[in-house]
Amino acid sequence: MSKSRAVAILGSTGSIGGNTLDVIRGNPELRVVAMSANTNAGLLAEQCREFEPRYAVMADPDRAGELRERLRSAGVNTDVLAGAGELARIAALPEVDTVMAAIVGAAGLESTLSAIQAGKKVLLANKESLVMAGDLCMRTARSEGALLIPVDSEHNAVFQCLPHCDTALGGEQTRHVEKLVLTCSGGPFLRKPAAQFDSITPEQACSHPKWDMGAKISVDSATLMNKGLEVIEACYLFDMESERVEVLVHPQSIVHSMVHFEDGSVLAQLGTPDMRIPISCALAWPERMPSGADAIDLAAGEPLEFMQPDLERFPCLGLGLDAARQRGLRPAVVNAANEVAVHAFLGGKLPFSGIAGLIESVSARIPCGEADSLAIILKVDGLARTYAKELIHKQI
C-alpha cells in the first residue's frame, strides 16, 4: 500500500477489532490513532501498550478509571476518554482518515454516522447501522463524500465483484446487474432437526463451524437472522430491491458472494473463511496489501455445495427478508427485538426456538412508518426493546 493511513478502531477489543489489529501489525504504514471498548479495560490497555494510540475510549464510564490506572502504571501516554458520547468524537477526529466501525449492535449506530458525517473512509463491520438507518447513512455518505467499504465478507465480496465499486454511486454501480447472491454457511444447525432446537445451548449456538466471531453475530448466524440482516444491508449499500438479493446456503464458506450480470456472467469472490481478508481489502482499498490469511487450496478442500435455505426451520431469515421488503422503520424494530432476544437467549432466559416468535410479536405490535431521522429511529428502537423485554419478563 503506497499511502500511510491513520485509523480509528471502534470496538477494538472485539473479534473484528482484534483481526483489524492483526492486519495492522503486518502493515506498519497503518497507524492507530484511536481505539475503543465497552467494558474490557484489560484488553484495551494491552492494545494501547502495543499500538500507542493518541486516544482510547471506554464507552462504559465506570471502567475508565481502571483503564487510566493500567495505562499510568505501564507508562503509556494515551488520553482516556469516558462515555459513549466520546465514540462519535473519535470517529470524526480531523487526524483520522479511516474508521473501522466494529462495535456490535445498535450501540454502533451513532459513531458510524458520525464518521460518515465527517466524510471519512468508513470500513463498515457494524451492519446494524445500515439495518437501522440505511437511507440516512447512504444519503449522508453521498452528501458528505464519505466512502463506505463493507467489511462483512459477503458485501465485501459483492463490492469487489462490481466494476464500479463505489457505494456513493448508488444504483449506478449495479446498472447491468441482474441479482446479487449472498452465500450463507448455514450455521452450526444446518442439518439439525427443528424438534431439537428447544434444547440448543448458548455454547452450541456460538460454536460456528467456519467462522470465529463475537457471541451476538454467532447466535445470529445460528438462527440465520444474520443473513436476513445482511440482505437489508445489501439493499441499502448497493441500492437494490430486496427481490434481487438472494440467499444461497454454501456450507464450505469459500465463495463469499456472487454477482449475476444481465449477459449471464456470474462473478464471485473466493477465499478462506478468514475476516482478515475483507478487512485488509477494505483498509488498503483501492490498493491491496497482505492480510496474513492462508492461501486457498481448492483441489485439497471439500467439494463446494450450494442449496436453498430452509425458511421453515429458520424463520428468522424470513423475518429479515420481510423487513428488507418493507424498509422504513421495520428493519430497526426487527433489529432491536432480535438484539433483546439474543441477549436473553445468551443469558438463559429464552430458548433458541423462542427467538423468532419474540421478534414476530414485537413486529406485530409496533406500527412502522418512514425512517426519516435519527431521532425517530432511536425512538422506535427504544419502544421495540421495551416491549421485547416485557414479553420476556412475562414468560419467566
Ligand X SMILES: NC(=O)c1ccc[n+]([C@@H]2O[C@H](COP(=O)([O-])OP(=O)(O)OC[C@H]3O[C@@H](n4cnc5c(N)ncnc54)[C@H](OP(=O)(O)O)[C@@H]3O)[C@@H](O)[C@H]2O)c1
Contact status: 17 vs ligand X (CB under 6 A): yes
Q: How far is the CB of 106 from ligand X (least distance, A)?
A: 8
Q: Which of 137, 147, 213, 245 binds ligand X (CB under 6 A)?
A: 213
Q: Which is nearer to ligand X, 109 or 190 (CB)?
A: 109
Contact status: 96 vs ligand X (CB under 6 A): no
CA 249 to CA 309: how far, in whole Å? 6
Asked if omega into 188 is within 30° of 0 (cis), the reply is: no
Contact status: 38 vs ligand X (CB under 6 A): yes
Q: Which of 24, 81, 104, 392 binds ligand X (CB under 6 A)?
A: 104
Q: Which is nearer to ligand X, 214 or 315 (CB)?
A: 214
Contact status: 59 vs ligand X (CB under 6 A): yes
Give the per-residue contact string, 67-86, with ligand X (x = CB under 6 A; - = no).
-----------------x--
Q: Which of 211, 248, 313, 349 binds ligand X (CB under 6 A)?
A: 211
Q: Which residue has the cell 426493546?
A: 385
Q: Which of 7, 8, 40, 377 binds ligand X (CB under 6 A)?
A: 40
Q: How far is the CB of 46 from ligand X (least distance, A)?
A: 12
Q: How far is the CB of 355 from ligand X (least distance, A)?
A: 16
Q: How far is the CB of 1 from ligand X (least distance, A)?
A: 22
Q: Which is nearer to ligand X, 89 or 365 (CB)?
A: 89
Residues 6 or more apart in contact with residue 348 via CB below 8 angstroms: 202
Pairing of strands 255-261, 177-184: antiparallel
Q: Which is nearer to ligand X, 128 or 381 (CB)?
A: 128
Applying CB under 6 A, the span of 45-53, 99-107, 160-168, 199-207 interacting with ligand X comes to 99-107
Nearest position to ligand X, beta carbon: 14
Q: How far is the CB of 369 from ligand X (least distance, A)?
A: 25
Number of residues this chain uses to bind ligand X (CB under 6 A): 29
Contact status: 359 vs ligand X (CB under 6 A): no
Contact status: 208 vs ligand X (CB under 6 A): no
Applying CB under 6 A, the span of 122-130, 184-192, 236-244, 322-330 interacting with ligand X comes to 122-130
Q: How far is the CB of 211 from ligand X (least distance, A)?
A: 5
Give the per-residue contact string, 129-168, with ligand X (x = CB under 6 A; - = no).
-----------------------x----------------
Applying CB under 6 A, the span of 31-39, 234-242, 339-347, 377-385 interacting with ligand X comes to 31-39
What sign does the CA torsion over 166, 167, 173, 179 have?
positive
Contact status: 102 vs ligand X (CB under 6 A): yes
Compute how many other C-beta atoms are within 10 angstroms of the C-beta atom of residue 94: 7
CA 395 to chain centre: 30
CA triple 347-349-355, angle to 5 deg = 100
Q: Which of 56, 125, 356, 358 binds ligand X (CB under 6 A)?
A: 125
Contact status: 173 vs ligand X (CB under 6 A): no
Q: Which residues of the chain form contacts with ligand X (CB under 6 A)?
A: 11-17, 37-40, 59, 84, 102-104, 107, 125-128, 152, 211, 213-217, 275
